[in-house]
Amino acid sequence: KKFTINDFEIGKPLGKGKFGNVYLAREKKSQYIVALKVLYKKELIRGKVEHQLRREIEIQSHLRHPNVLRLYGYFYDERRVYLILEFAGQGELYKILCKKGKFDEETAANYIASIGSALSYCHSKHVIHRDIKPENLLLDINGNVKIADFGWSVHAPSNRRKTLCGTLDYLPPEMIEAKDHDEKVDIWSLGVLIYEFLVGSPPFEATGNHETYRRITNVLYQFPDHVSPLARDLISKLLIKNPKDRLPLHDLLKHPWITSHVCSEKLDKLASFLV
Ligand SMILES: COc1cccc(-c2nc(Nc3cc(C)[nH]n3)cc3ccccc23)c1
């Protein structure tokens, strides 16, 4: 089915992205609510990101997991490319975290179990996301977290030089040192994410990039007193310099910090997606 813009009723703009805007939209025939991401070809060419967009579409359209935002399809006209995306009603988890300051350990553990299951599913298809951070997570109306923005995802292994735009806080040492990297980069980012959920700021945050680099490559971070021993134990098993020593994702769902906060039927469901 080839969609065109006339198949949709366009609602309010949800927000501005880097290469275009996201609108609430409804497909006329099915009355289905979606998020329509409109990208301007001129901007894509200027940003030299057309290949990245093609990869994002290819990868995200084939992924099926409750915590991975669905890409239902795409279409284009002479000036724009349109991505038909699943609509997550509560928006960016980043804004919710900013408003709340930090999450309690039970809320954080439930998000991390879902994200860990989704990443394990992606890795089973040799897809690494490479850009796991609160800005790329959405929350649906029922409070389920969704990994979005596969713009930086690639098929593992990869040594692609990531033009270091945006925050470095989530980059693992091997990407900072432009070494070969594999799925284990997402495991590191998950450790950074748990820390940021519980503390409200990322572990290696510093004023300048140089200091952030130094802290990441030397794995220098501390916990505030309120972080529980179980949470510290899990984070310390993810933020490890040598990628091979990082906790494998299938062990994540069995870690006591997760099992003590996430109900067993939810854990069983999340584990069922891991082949
Ligand atoms: C920069 O802030 C941005 C940018 C783009 C979208 C939102 C936003 N998105 C969604 N849901 C979405 C977005 C996608 C691709 N699927 N579901 C919901 C919201 C609700 C309130 C405010 C903002 C929202 C924010």
Could you read off the pLDDT of 188-232 as tens digits, one per residue? 999 999 999 999 999 999 999 999 999 999 999 999 999 999 999
Provide the CA 145 distance to its chain's centre, in angstroms.
Answer: 10
Out of 7, 77, 131, 140, which one is annotated catalytic? 131
Atom of ligand 1 nearest to the CA of 87: 17
pLDDT of 130 strictly over 90: no
85 lines ligand 1 (CB under 6 A): yes
Average pLDDT in the 104-122 region? 97
Residue 128 · residue 186 · CB < 8 Å: yes
Query: Which of 148-162, 208-222, 258-272 is least confident?
Result: 148-162
**What is the per-residue pLDDT for 152?**
60
Beta-sheet pairing, 80-85 with 145-147: unpaired
Would the pLDDT of 187 be above 80? yes
Q: How close is the Cα of 248 to the center of ligand 1, in Å?
A: 31
**CA separation for the pair 207, 273 (Å, rounded):** 40
pLDDT in tens, 233-260: 999 999 999 999 999 998 999 999 999 9
Express each pLDDT in 54-73 by its tens digit. 988 998 999 999 999 999 99
Instruction: Provide the pLDDT for residue 164.
Output: 53
Q: Read out DSSP for 98-112? A: HHHSS--HHHHHHHH
| Residue 180 pLDDT grade (very low, low, confident, very high; cuts 50, 70, 90) | confident
Predicted confidence band of residue 155 (pLDDT cuts 50, 70, 90): low
- This complex has an ipTM of 0.96
pLDDT of residue 218: 97
**Is any ligand 1 atom within 6 A of the Cβ of residue 35?**
yes
pLDDT tier, 179 (very low <50, low <70, confident <90, very high otherwise): confident
Q: Is 131 a catalytic residue?
A: yes
Q: How confident is the model at residue 149 (pLDDT cuts 50, 70, 90)?
A: confident
Q: Which residues, in sequence order, are CB contacts of 236 under 8 Å at separation 6+?
A: none
- What residue type is 14 in one-letter code? L
The average confidence (pLDDT) of the chain is 92
E strand residue ranges, 43-182: 71-76, 80-85, 91-92, 127-128, 137-139, 145-147, 154-155
Q: Cα of 22 to ligand 1 centre, how many Å?
A: 7
pLDDT higher than threshold 70 for residue 166: no
CA-nearest residue, atom 16 of ligand 1: 87
First-residue to last-residue Cα distance in the chain: 31
Residue 91 scores a pLDDT above 80: yes
* Among 272, 244, 232, residue whose Cα is nearest residue 117: 272
Tell me which of 178 and 144 has the higher pLDDT: 144
pLDDT exceeds cutoff 90 at 159? no
Residue 273: per-residue pLDDT: 85
pLDDT at position 178 is: 84
pTM summary value: 0.92
Ligand 1 mutation target, pool 12, 14, 16, most atoms within 8 A of CB: 14
Measure 91 CA to ligand 1 centroid, in angstroms: 4
Residue 185 has pLDDT above 60, yes or no: yes
